[in-house]
Structure 1
Amino acid sequence: MGLYRVRVSTGSSLCAGSNNQVQLSLVGQHGEAELKRRLRPARDQEEAFEEDVQEYLGPLLFVKLRKWHFLQDDAWFCNWVSVQGPGAGGPEFKFPCYRWVEGTDVLALAEGTGRTVVDDPQGLFKQHREQELAERRKLYRWGNWKDGLILNMAGSTLCDLPADERFLEDKRFDFEASLAKGLADLAIKDSLNVLACWNDLEDFSRIFWCGQSKLAERVRTSWKEDAWFGYQFLNGTNPMVLRRCKQLPARLHFPPGMEALRAELETELQGGTLFEADFSLLDGIKANVILCTQQYLAAPLVMLKLQPDGKLLPMVIQLQLPREGAPPPLLFLPTDPPMAWLLAKCWVRSSDFQVHELQSHLLRGHLMAEVIAVATMRCLPSIHPIFKLIIPHLRYTMEINFRARAGLVSDMGVFDQVVSTGKGGHVQLLQRAIALLTYSSLCPPDDLADRGLLGVKSSFYAQDALRLWDIITRYVQGIVHLHYQTDEAVSKDAELQTWCREITQVGLLSAQDRGFPDSLQSLDQMCRFITMCIFTCTGQHSSTHLGQLDWYSWVPNTPCTMRLPPPTTKDVTLETVMASLPNFHQASLQMSIVWQLGRRQSIMVAVGQHQEEYFTGPGPKEVLKQFREELAAMEKDVAARNAKLDIPYEYLLPSLVENSVAI
């Protein structure tokens, strides 16, 4: 009984408002009241009104929303509802929504305090939690894009996605406009170059356009240098392959006359400065056939030495694995004829393109994030504190992955058209890479230790990944310890256990043998698992996404395909190199796609800067405030370091790391 003040916030996207009428009901611990006032919510507006309620409600638990329509259902995007009362000094209750309200079904919003099942001994929210998850499991169903791959959201077209997973208008307009621009530029370049000669490396300048990347311009002029080649393994767009050698690789065969090379490698090995980048994952993968023309793949091994000044220099390249009964593969050296050495490096960079885009970027970033997203929507109700913690990091992931499966790795998609692993090779590589998708590999402290990169001062990726991981860890610990005080509270949270099990056993196809937990039994184990989830959706993805425009725009530096087999002699000419690299159409399409996906996104949310407030109460707000302060301190320190570097490393700069896998 008393006067309640109600505020309703509508989203700012173009179609967030609605012409339909919305009616609210307040549900308290002791009663329920339907409010007489009906709203017509307007875009980007906060509407407030007061209403005298005759019933005694007690502490508020829910707000119920019901949208009425006469002829047309006009969806409404509700941010939140706030209710204060009864009386002038009554408490204020916040009910977060941040989703579309469609149809005429009643939508119940729980008050924004995070609650586990254990936190609800009276069962006030039990029916709400169960009903919400039952409805979500009908909407969010597991699919299997290709046999042998981790699972994904079911559906074949964007229309199959729930409305809450779709791009809002600003994001959709920006994405589709950039795609149209890229295709238009591609058509222009193709028409201009169709009759032009294509016989010199500088001819790639005709399709090079990279006004948004100063580093790409430097790559164009410096890509032939060994120091630039080696730098990319440390701090390029794929810093996930390099590892310190513990012994000389068994596949490295030394023909007679190479004793000095072996001794040099042994010396570096003993000094702890010998590193390798092994692309054996590509061995035996079926290469694409494009317009009736066979393309080619290799499985290179690169041995590199770390110099006292931090430069990583290649020492030897072996392009193929040894075969029984076949001549041993050639070893290419920096002292070889310049064109032979350059072609060997091109082969390595093309192989890195395949492994990066499919294993490091698509599998470890996009597909892994989608598993986390689908499991979260199926297993954690919106009142659960871990749902509130992780949901901002899942925004737009399902749609961008649907678009990738429909346009990039689909039948007749970009990979089939211009990439040497297209037409099935890309799926084969992904299937192989599943075995390497381990829990420890997604946790930078473990991964970097395993690969021997801790303490490498010129590995700015390693330094920044560790710092961002630690910052996210403290953020997760802050939220977790507000809601869980003991290990027992963790182990008895049935919803949390179901979520963890759904990720490991269902989405990742029984990944316990790869170290993923199928239950969470302690606070430390829980915090590490959640940190892995958030880092995967933020820093892990950004570290393998943001560098594409810089390092892939100049196509000879990282060719998407190779049109001749790997060389079997060192008698290599410029004509051989040009005939091996992509033709002008392949290069133009690579440039266009790289620009569209790799450019700095105008519609993005930086890590930790989401505006949605899923939690209420001062505790979570203070934890988020501390998280943002630590990110700002990292931003300042990284910027100061980068100012002293010849090549600034920005791919884990917090202002550029997106809060979710959204591109």
Structure 2
Amino acid sequence: MENYEVTVSTGNLINADTLNNVYIKLVGTDGESERKWLMGFKGPSAFIRGAVSTFTVSCPLSLGRLLLIELDKQHLIFPKDSWFPSKVEVKSPEGNIYCFPIYRWISDSEVHFFREGTAVRVFEENHHLGAYSREQELNQRANEYCWDVYAEGIPHCMKVENSNDLPWEVQFSFTKSTEFLYTASTGLLELDPKLLANCTEKWTDIDAINRVFCCKQTEISEYVEKHWKEDAFFGYQFLNGVNPMLVKRCSVLPGNFPVTDDMVFPKGQCSLANEIKKGKIFLCDYKRLDGLKPNIVNGKKQYLMAPLVLLHKTRDDNLMPIAIQLKQTPADDNPIFLPTDSEYDWLMAKIFVRSADFSEHQLNVHLLRTHLLAEVFAVSLLRNMPMVHPLYKLLIPHTRYTLQINYLARQYLISKTGFFTTFAASGGEAMFTILNRSLSSLTYSSLCIPEDIAERGLKDVPNFFYRDDGLKLWKIIKKFVDGILRYYYKKDTEVQQDTELQKWIGDIFEHGFLSQAGTGIPQRFDTVAQLVKFVTMVIFTGSCQHSAVNSGQYDYGGWMPNTPITLQRPPPTTKGTTSEETMLQTFPDVNSTVQGMATMWLLSKQSSDFVPLGCYPEEHFSDKIPCQLIKDFQGELQSLSAAIKARNSTMNVPYTYMDPALLENSVAN
């Protein structure tokens, strides 16, 4: 008899254990074992949470090289339950050790196939059992992960009726689910001790806003409250706030923004043309918001502008706003506001800009460019890549929780009764117009931070920490991805003949970018370099970019005057007509403010089972070189984290959103 030593590890997750009977079959190139009941001296405790249990499977003859295992569990005495095995290791009579990564919930009584951990591409399958199991896995996934159209003109999503219908493998953990529900249900109570969430009155004074705000503060949100009126801080947020994606160097003043030297340099100390030539003038253009039909909130019409903002880099390296036009078309009733205007004229212009930035950030920069794209990357991966494929092993940690968090976003944020539709100026009809316009104008290069920074002319702008940290992260991720993929793909022809890889990118092009060739998104891969760049972008988008535009939402939006989610009076059409009272009447109602604060608090809050970038608790790779590359990747991320922490220790407003220790592997909140 030939004895195989089988070691089964159960995951260390809440409710991961099973009391059901577990069975295994070993399948090799030269035969297969009998289906074996894994019963040992531990009895039912063999598969409790975190347990590692060893069994012996005996066969008359050697099975040759092991290809796969078959696992199933049956409930006899104990009720049916769900089990989360992490991996199975098998030591053969010849002394070879085979590792079978699982990391999936098994909740039924069906037989499940799991391949040995060595990565195998589809054209390398040289055994009919390997090819068969691969085909079976992808057929099952194609049935589980189906495409759906939530709304025309935006990336497609996974078809699911209820979050509980999501496959177990992509659902929140018990810990994540419990904490998310707790934060969602208690957020309003914590932020709203006076129960103002249903109050549709206007704010009467700034102190009243502060009394709500002071219930939940962060170090940065406190700073924002004190400095939100300052021009330098207004300019700073275009670089290091939650939306660092709009500002660009101005090479030519737009024809619809008739700013003159007398307006911005009244003392004649310099000219606009010369400052543009020196690269010191910057522009933010919210043209995507032009011509929208604003929402109705609390039965009242709201207002959403499409501003143009001109900024000037000063000698002390501040980015200072020098002119603001709140509508796209120049007109007598659309004045250009200047820092030399009265206090409230200038402040109101900045408030309308910050409110426009909320809509641009939330719908384009945050929802579309991170959440919706990450879902497309994940669904295509799960439909087209079996677990044994090297790209699955590389990318699956970067899909964690994405499908469920996006389902919840559609249900509670952008549905007909969602937060955006109910309380934001850009909710309802305007919301989908913005998303349509955003996808139509999206480019591949804008998703790749080195190209995006170069195209926007921001390579040498001082104090641009999003750029500094982001470029370093991109370089580290690309080096890691390059090492992994070039280990498996030695030649461009190997990329070209990998049909699963080509289906993955084909699905992304079709369902994510709606087959718009103008985006520059590849429709297929012809070279290893193309593959490396795209996979780098996928990881960067779901981890680094999402953190940059998500984690600071409450920091910069918790103090409502800095980021109003809606405004309920039109902007001034002539100068000299504004006051503090005008400002308070323009701000969102009390309930909109409180709901906005609670939502931003929920979206910014990290769960305790957070997994930082580069940490892979699930060991999908078993090859020696990829495992070493992961360790090297983690070392470089730790070094960058230490450097960022050292820099931040000297700053009044630390930039933490790209610290590898604080950003998550995936779009998970």
Q: Give the TM-score of the pair, scaled to structure 2.
A: 0.95
Aligned in 2, Cα 1:42/1:259: closer, same or farther, shift over 3 Å?
closer
Within 2, Cα distance between the matches of 1:420 and 1:506? 29
1:462 equivalenced with 2:500 (yes/no) = no
Cα displacement (A) at 1:602: 2.5
Within 1, Cα distance between the matches of 2:262 and 2:216? 48
In the TM superposition, 1:181-580 aligns within 5 A as 181-185=186-190, 188-191=193-196, 198-209=203-214, 211=216, 213-254=218-259, 258=263, 264-322=271-329, 327=332, 329-570=334-575, 571-580=577-586
Q: CA RMSD in A?
A: 1.9
More divergent stretch after superposition (118-127 vs 620-629):
118-127
Task: Kindly provide the CA deviation profile for residues 317-364 of structure 1, in whole angstroms up to 9, marking residues without a partner as x.
Answer: 0000116xx536210001100011111000000000000000000000
More divergent stretch after superposition (461-470 vs 639-648):
639-648
Cα displacement (A) at 1:162: 1.5
Aligned in 2, Cα 1:237/1:192: closer, same or farther, shift over 3 Å?
closer
Letter in 1 for 2:407: F
Within 2, Cα distance between the matches of 1:624 and 1:168? 24
Within 2, Cα distance between the matches of 1:2 and 1:310? 74
Cα displacement (A) at 1:160: 2.9
User: 1:210, 1:553 within 8 Å by CA — same for their partners in 2?
Assistant: no
Letter in 2 for 1:385: P
Identity of aligned residues (%): 40
Cα displacement (A) at 1:396: 0.4
Letter in 2 for 1:265: L
Within 2, Cα distance between the matches of 1:110 and 1:42? 23
Cα displacement (A) at 1:73: 2.9
Task: Kindly provide the CA deviation profile for residues 539-574 of structure 1, in whole angstroms up to 9, marking residues without a partner as x.
Answer: 111110011121001000010000101111222111
Letter in 1 for 2:166: L
Cα displacement (A) at 1:186: 5.3
1:612 equivalenced with 2:618 (yes/no) = yes
Other-structure match for 1:661:
667
User: 1:212, 1:599 within 8 Å by CA — same for their partners in 2?
Assistant: no
Other-structure match for 2:67:
61
Cα displacement (A) at 1:197: 8.3
More divergent stretch after superposition (135-144 vs 112-121):
112-121
In the TM superposition, 1:636-651 aligns within 5 A as 636-651=642-657
User: 1:96, 1:112 within 8 Å by CA — same for their partners in 2?
Assistant: yes
Runs of 4+ in 1 over 6 A off after TM superposition: none
Task: Kindly provide the CA deviation profile for residues 626-652 of structure 1, in whole angstroms up to 9, marking residues without a partner as x.
Answer: 100110111111112222223211110
Q: How many residues matched?
A: 659
Within 2, Cα distance between the matches of 1:367 and 1:417? 21
Within 1, Cα distance between the matches of 2:105 and 2:217? 35
Within 2, Cα distance between the matches of 1:656 and 1:192? 31
Residue 111 of structure 2: which of 93, 99, 106 is its match? 106
More divergent stretch after superposition (64-73 vs 544-553):
64-73
Task: Kindly provide the CA deviation profile for residues 84-106 of structure 1, in whole angstroms up to 9, marking residues without a partner as x.
Answer: 1215xx11110001111122211
Cα displacement (A) at 1:435: 1.2
Residue 85 of structure 1: which of 86, 92, 97 is its match? 92
Cα displacement (A) at 1:65: 0.1
Letter in 1 for 2:18: S
Cα displacement (A) at 1:195: 10
User: 2:264, 2:323 within 8 Å by CA — same for their partners in 1?
Assistant: no
Cα displacement (A) at 1:403: 0.4
Unaligned runs of 5+ in 2: none
Cα displacement (A) at 1:274: 0.6
User: 1:606, 1:655 within 8 Å by CA — same for their partners in 2?
Assistant: yes
Cα displacement (A) at 1:254: 4.3
User: 2:176, 2:607 within 8 Å by CA — same for their partners in 1?
Assistant: no
Task: Kindly provide the CA deviation profile for residues 293-316 of structure 1, in whole angstroms up to 9, marking residues without a partner as x.
Answer: 111110001000112332110000
Within 1, Cα distance between the matches of 2:608 and 2:49? 21
More divergent stretch after superposition (450-459 vs 154-163):
154-163
Cα displacement (A) at 1:45: 1.4
Other-structure match for 2:15:
15
Letter in 2 for 1:20: N
Task: Kindly provide the CA deviation profile for residues 247-272 of structure 1, in whole angstroms up to 9, marking residues without a partner as x.
Answer: 11121024897485697432320110
Task: Kindly provide the CA deviation profile for residues 55-75 of structure 1, in whole angstroms up to 9, marking residues without a partner as x.
Answer: 320111111101112384312
User: 1:95, 1:110 within 8 Å by CA — same for their partners in 2?
Assistant: yes
User: 1:10, 1:16 within 8 Å by CA — same for their partners in 2?
Assistant: yes
Within 2, Cα distance between the matches of 1:304 and 1:617? 52
Letter in 1 for 2:136: Q
Other-structure match for 1:42:
48
User: 2:480, 2:629 within 8 Å by CA — same for their partners in 1?
Assistant: yes
Within 1, Cα distance between the matches of 2:383 and 2:594? 42
Within 2, Cα distance between the matches of 1:118 and 1:195? 63
Within 1, Cα distance between the matches of 2:178 and 2:261? 61
Cα displacement (A) at 1:131: 1.1
Within 2, Cα distance between the matches of 1:487 and 1:197? 63
User: 1:116, 1:493 within 8 Å by CA — same for their partners in 2?
Assistant: yes
Aligned in 2, Cα 1:212/1:82: closer, same or farther, shift over 3 Å?
farther
Within 2, Cα distance between the matches of 1:386 and 1:146? 30
In structure 2, the residue corresponding to 1:315 is in which secondary structure? Answer: strand
Within 1, Cα distance between the matches of 2:519 and 2:404? 28
Within 2, Cα distance between the matches of 1:636 and 1:143? 43
Aligned in 2, Cα 1:454/1:197: closer, same or farther, shift over 3 Å?
closer
Q: Give the TM-score of the pair, scaled to structure 1.
A: 0.96
Unaligned runs of 5+ in 1: none
In the TM superposition, 1:18-33 aligns within 5 A as 18-33=18-33
More divergent stretch after superposition (390-399 vs 115-124):
115-124
Within 1, Cα distance between the matches of 2:653 and 2:638? 22
Aligned in 2, Cα 1:68/1:564: closer, same or farther, shift over 3 Å?
same
Task: Kindly provide the CA deviation profile for residues 222-266 of structure 1, in whole angstroms up to 9, marking residues without a partner as x.
Answer: 110001000000011110011001111121024897485697432
Within 1, Cα distance between the matches of 2:408 and 2:197? 29
Residue 169 of structure 2: which of 146, 164, 168 is its match? 164
Letter in 2 for 1:80: K
Other-structure match for 2:144:
139
In structure 1, the residue corresponding to 2:33 is in which secondary structure? Answer: strand
Other-structure match for 1:621:
627
Letter in 2 for 1:405: R
More divergent stretch after superposition (388-397 vs 503-512):
503-512
Aligned in 2, Cα 1:641/1:461: closer, same or farther, shift over 3 Å?
same
Letter in 2 for 1:32: E
In structure 1, the residue corresponding to 2:9 is in which secondary structure? Answer: strand
Task: Kindly provide the CA deviation profile for residues 461-508 of structure 1, in whole angstroms up to 9, marking residues without a partner as x.
Answer: 011111101111011111111111111111111111111111112332
User: 1:322, 1:328 within 8 Å by CA — same for their partners in 2?
Assistant: no
User: 2:187, 2:601 within 8 Å by CA — same for their partners in 1?
Assistant: yes
User: 1:370, 1:398 within 8 Å by CA — same for their partners in 2?
Assistant: yes
Within 1, Cα distance between the matches of 2:604 and 2:33? 52
1:633 equivalenced with 2:639 (yes/no) = yes
